[in-house]
Structure 1
Amino acid sequence: MTYADVVIVGAGAAGLSLAYRLCAPDARVPLSVVLVDAPPGPLRPPPRTWCFWEPPGGEFDAVLSASWQRLRVRAADGSATVAVPSPLRYKMLRSDAFTALVGSRLDAAAGFARTELTVRAVRDAAGGGGEVVGEDARGRRTVVRGRYVFDSRPPGRLPAARTTLLQHFTGWFVHTERPVFDPDTATLMDFRTPQPRHGLSFAYVLPLDARTALVEYTEFSRTPLEPAAYAEALDHHLGEVLGASPYRVSATEHGVIPMTDGRFPPRAGRSVFRVGTAGGATRPSTGYTFSGVQRQSRSLATALRAGKPPRTPPPYRARSLAMDAVMLRALDAGRVDGAAFFTGLFRSVPPARLLRFLDGSAPLREELLVGLRTPVAPMLRTLAELPFRSRRFMPTDPAPAVPHPPGPPGLSDEE
Structure 2
Amino acid sequence: MITPDYYYIIVGGGLAGLQLALEIRKDVFFKGKKIAIIDPSLKSENDKTWCFWEEGSGKWDELIQKEWQQGLFIAESVKKEMDFAPYSYKMLRSIDFYQYAKGELNKDPDTYFIQDEISKIDEVTRTALGKKDSYTATHFFDSRPPHSYKDDSGSAKIYQHFKGIYIETQEAQFDPDRFTMMDYRGKYKNSTCFTYVLPVSPKNALIEFTFFTPFLTEEKVYDEQLEKYIREVLKIDNYSITESETGIIPMTDYPFHQHNSKYVTKIGTAGGWVKASSGYSFKSTERKVDKLLSNIKSGKKPAQGLFSKRFQRYDAIFLDVLEKRNDLGESLFTKFYTKNSIQNIFKFLDEETTFSEDIKIMQSMFHPQFLKSFFNKL
Q: Is the pair's TM-score, using the shorter chain for normalization, greater than 0.5? A: yes
The verdict on how the C-alpha distance between 1:28 and 1:16 changes in structure 2, with shifts beyond 3 A counting, is closer
User: Which ranges of 4 or more aligned residues in structure 1 deviate by more than 6 Å?
Assistant: none
Query: 2:11–2:140: 8 Å Cα contact kept in structure 1?
Result: yes
1:20 pairs with 2:16 = no
**Matches for 1:207-286 after TM superposition, within 5 Å:** 207-265=199-257, 267-286=259-278
Residue 380 of structure 1, CA deviation? 2.2
- Normalized against structure 1, the TM-score is what? 0.84
> Larger relative CO (CA 8 A, sep 6+): 1 or 2?
1
SS at match of 2:256: coil
User: The residue matched to 2:73 in structure 1 has which SS?
Assistant: strand
The one of 367, 386, 393 equivalent to 2:358 is 367
- Residue 379 of structure 1 pairs with residue 370 of structure 2: yes
Within 1, Cα distance between the matches of 2:215 and 2:45?
21
Describe the SS at the equivalent of 1:92.
strand
Displacement, 1:147?
Answer: 1.1
Matched AA of 1:4: Y
Alignment partner for residue 127 of structure 2, among 105, 123, 131? 131
Unaligned ranges ≥5, structure 1: 137-141, 388-415
When residues 9 and 218 of structure 1 are mapped into structure 2, their CA distance, relative to the original with a 3 A threshold, is: same
Q: Which residue is equivalent to 2:174?
A: 181
> Which of 194, 202, 206 is equivalent to 1:202?
194
| Cα distance, 1:194–1:124 mapped onto 2, change above 3 Å | same
**C-alpha displacement of 1:314:** 5.4
Structure 1 position 66, deviation (Å): 0.7
Q: Tell me, what secondary structure is at the counterpart of 2:320? A: helix
With 21-30 and 66-75 compared, the bigger mean Cα shift is at: 21-30
Residue type at the aligned position of 1:58: G
Equivalent pairs, count: 374
CA distance in 2, matches of 1:196, 1:316: 35
Tell me how far apart the structure 2 counterparts of residues 227 and 349 of structure 1 sit (CA, whole Å): 34
Aligned pairs (5 A) from 1:61-76: 61-76=61-76
Identity %: 27
Match for residue 33 of structure 2? 31
User: 1:311 aligned to 2:306?
Assistant: no
With over 3 angstroms needed to count, the CA separation of the structure-2 counterparts of 1:316 and 1:363, relative to structure 1, is farther
Which whole-Å deviations, capped at 9, do the CAs of 1:107-126 have from their partners, x for residues lacking one? 22232111111222123143
Give the drift of 1:219: 0.8
Aligned 8 A contact 1:330 1:336 in 2: no
Alignment root-mean-square deviation, CA: 2.2
- Do structure 1's residue 337 and structure 2's residue 328 form an aligned pair? yes
Equivalent position of 2:54 in the other structure: 54
Partner of 1:411: none
CA displacement 1:258-305 (0-9 Å, x = unmatched): 12222112644320111000101011211112222112211222344x
Q: What is the TM-score of this pair, normalised by structure 2? A: 0.92
Once the two structures are TM-superposed, the CA of residue 186 in structure 1 deviates from its matched residue by: 1.5
Task: Kindly report which structure 2 residues correspond to 1:98-177, keeping only aligned pairs within 5 A, or say none.
Answer: 98-126=97-125, 130-136=126-132, 142-158=133-149, 160=152, 161-177=154-170
Q: Shift of residue 214 of structure 1? A: 0.6
The one-letter code matched in structure 2 to 1:238 is I
Q: CA deviation at 1:28?
A: 6.3
1:327 aligned to 2:291?
no
Distance of 1:88 and 1:146 partners within structure 2: 41
Larger helix percent: 2
Unaligned runs of 5+ in 2: none
Distance 2:174 2:119 in 1: 46
Quote how far apart the aligned CAs of 1:361 are. Answer: 3.1
* CA pair 289-30 structure 1, distance change in 2 beyond 3 A: same
Distance 1:12 1:204, change over 3 A: same
| Aligned partners of 1:263 and 1:280 also within 8 Å | yes
Is residue 281–residue 296 contact of structure 1 (8 Å, CA) maintained in 2? Answer: yes
Mapped contact 1:155–1:277 kept (Cα < 8 A):
no
Query: 1:84 deviation in Å?
Result: 1.4
Question: Residues 236 and 209 of structure 1: is their aligned pair in 2 closer, same or farther, counting only changes over 3 Å?
Answer: same
Contact 1:70 1:85 in 2 (8 A): yes
Q: Secondary structure at the match of 2:221?
A: helix
**Pair 1:26–1:105, CA change in 2 (3 A):** farther
CA contact (8 A) 2:291 2:306 kept: no
Contact 1:192–1:202, Cα closer than 8 Å, also in 2: yes
**Other-structure match for 1:398:** none
* 2:12 aligned partner: 10
